[in-house]
Structure 1
Amino acid sequence: MELRHLRYFLAVAEERHFGRAAARLHMAQPPLSQQIRQLESELGVQLLHRNTRRVDLTEAGAAYLDRVRTVLAAVDDAGEVARRVAAGLQGRLSVGCVGSATYSLLPAVARRLREELPGVEVAFRGEMLGAQQVAALQRRDIDIALLRPPAGDPGITVRTLRSDALIAALPDGHPLTARTRLDVTDLRDEDFVIHAERDSAMYGVVRRLCDRAGFEPRIRHEVVETSTLVTFVAAGLGLAIVPEPVAQLGVPGATYRPLTDPAARIDLALATRSDDDSPLIAQATRVLTQLAAPDSP
């Protein structure tokens, strides 16, 4: 028995006429009649009552028809699922986000992926530092990372999505909030709250900015999560240099000022495993790249 036998039987059962069923199947009537008899012979039951004007189902044929419809529908559905998976339109995806992207990009990413890839189940992991994301990619715990480069692993492919300005985060009421813009040298005598050295690209960026300005930052607190960093700033435990999207976190007690140094910027990048040629990853990368474009709605 082959699937074509089931499709032949379905056509005859629905048309109740061999001639019409043969026309529907784009084949001659005699071979169709022969195939149905072979099916009945293999099953050992009569499925159809035949006369010169029409064909009727036997009781066994009616019961068989119900199962045939279920089988063929399942086969068609399996084919559609396979095609959707092959096209990157169905499956599961895990996305890791660095702190600033968690607040500024994740909500829009979730909406856009839901709109453009409704058949994809997406899980997000927010507030992940770069080193944590690279390790999670290596372990295959996540499929895509939104991080601050570099990734530091030749097995990870990094695509720059955008460049974010760096700004100063200050406690409300701090004397420097009286200025509309700040130079990095204005922060020389201040206490700093900074991302932990081992895991964050921001640690190196802040140290380099201060070094160019001629001083070493007085680091009082090192934290892992961006939300904790801003909370420490709001509590008056120090100030921080952060990517501009962090201002969207909206922690009460924190105020932000732009920096005058044009080099005070940091990239946001999309990282994937270099050996991952999944169509789903390609589809998600396309959506995320479009979303992060400067002119994206």
Structure 2
Amino acid sequence: MELRHLRYFLAVAEERHFGRAAARLHIAQPPLSQQIRQLETELGVRLLDRNTRRVELTEAGAAYLDRIRLVLAAVDEAGEVARRVAAGLQGRLSVGCVGSATYSLLPAVARRLREELPGVEVAFRGEMLGAQQVAALQRRDIDLALLRPPVDDPGILVRVLRSDALIVVLPDGHRLASRDRLSVADLRDEDFVVHAIRDSAMHGTVRRLCDRAGFEPRIRHEVVETSTLVTFVAAGLGVAIVPEPVAQLGVPGATYRPLAEQDARIDLAVAVRAGDDSPVIDQATRVLSETVRGLALRTLFQP
């Protein structure tokens, strides 16, 4: 028995006429009659009562018709699901986000993914440092990462999405808060709050900026989450250098000032596993890239 036997029988049962069924199926009537007889022979029951004018279902044929409708519907649905999965329109996806992308980009990305890929079940993990995301990609805990380069792993493909300016976070009322713009050298005598050393591209960026300004930062606190970093600054525990989107957190007690150094910037990138040919990941990466291009980052400070 093949699926065509079921489709042939369905056509005859619905049309109640071999000629009309054959025309519907775009085949000749004699082969259709032969296929139905083969089906009845294999089943060992008569499915149809035939006469010169009309075809009627036997009781067994009516019961069989009910079941094959379910079977054919399930087959059609399975084919549609397979096509949607192959096109990246159905499946599951886990996305990791670095802290600043969690606040500035994740909401828009989540909305766009729901709109364009409603058949994809997406889970987000926010406030993940870069090294955590790389490890999660390697373990297949996440499928796509929004992180800050560099990534020193040939098994991970990285593509820059945008470049963010770096700014200074100060406690409200800080002596430097009265200035419109600061240089890194202005922070020479300040205590610093930074991201954890082994897990953050920002930690190395802050050290390089301070080294270029001729001093070593006096690091008092190392944290994992960006929201914690800004909260520590608001509490008066130090100052910090962060990507500009962090200012969208709006933590009470924190003041933001631009840096005078025009090249004080850090990239935001999307990272995936090399060789991963998942259509869902391809679709999600496309949506993410289009969202970033179409989303004008709200700039707090004019250059």
Give distance in 2, aligned partners of 1:115 and 1:255. 36
Give distance in 1, aligned partners of 2:24 and 2:140. 49
Give distance in 2, aligned partners of 1:245 and 1:224. 17
Equivalent runs, 1:68-217 vs 2, <5 Å: 68-217=68-217
Give distance in 2, aligned partners of 1:51 and 1:86. 47
Residue 301 of structure 2 corresponds to none
Residue 283 of structure 2 corresponds to 283
Whether contact under 8 Å (1:290, 1:296) holds in the other structure is no
Gaps of 5+ in 2: 298-303
Q: Which amino acid aligns with 2:57?
A: L
Whether contact under 8 Å (1:190, 1:218) holds in the other structure is yes
Change (3 A) 1:6 1:128: same
Change (3 A) 1:295 1:124: closer
Shift of residue 105 of structure 1?
A: 0.8
Q: Which amino acid aligns with 2:241?
A: I
Shift of residue 73 of structure 1?
A: 0.6
Shift of residue 54 of structure 1?
A: 1.1
Give distance in 1, aligned partners of 2:84 and 2:279. 10
Give distance in 1, aligned partners of 2:180 and 2:52. 94
Secondary structure of residue in 2 paired with 1:52: coil
Q: Which amino acid aligns with 2:56?
A: D
Whether contact under 8 Å (1:162, 1:294) holds in the other structure is no
Runs of 4+ in structure 1 deviating by more than 3 angstroms, as ranges, are 294-297
Shift of residue 140 of structure 1?
A: 0.6
Give distance in 2, aligned partners of 1:229 and 1:260. 22
Secondary structure of residue in 2 paired with 1:255: strand
Residue 22 of structure 1 corresponds to 22
Using the size of structure 1 for normalisation, the TM-score is 0.98
Q: Which amino acid aligns with 1:56?
A: E
229-238 or 180-189: which moved more? 180-189
Whether contact under 8 Å (1:94, 1:122) holds in the other structure is yes
Q: Which amino acid aligns with 1:232?
A: F
Give distance in 2, aligned partners of 1:28 and 1:296. 62
Whether contact under 8 Å (1:195, 1:226) holds in the other structure is yes
Give distance in 2, aligned partners of 1:250 and 1:49. 78
Gaps of 5+ in 1: none
Q: Which amino acid aligns with 1:27?
A: I
Give distance in 1, aligned partners of 2:110 and 2:169. 27
Using the size of structure 2 for normalisation, the TM-score is 0.96
**How many residue pairs get matched?**
297
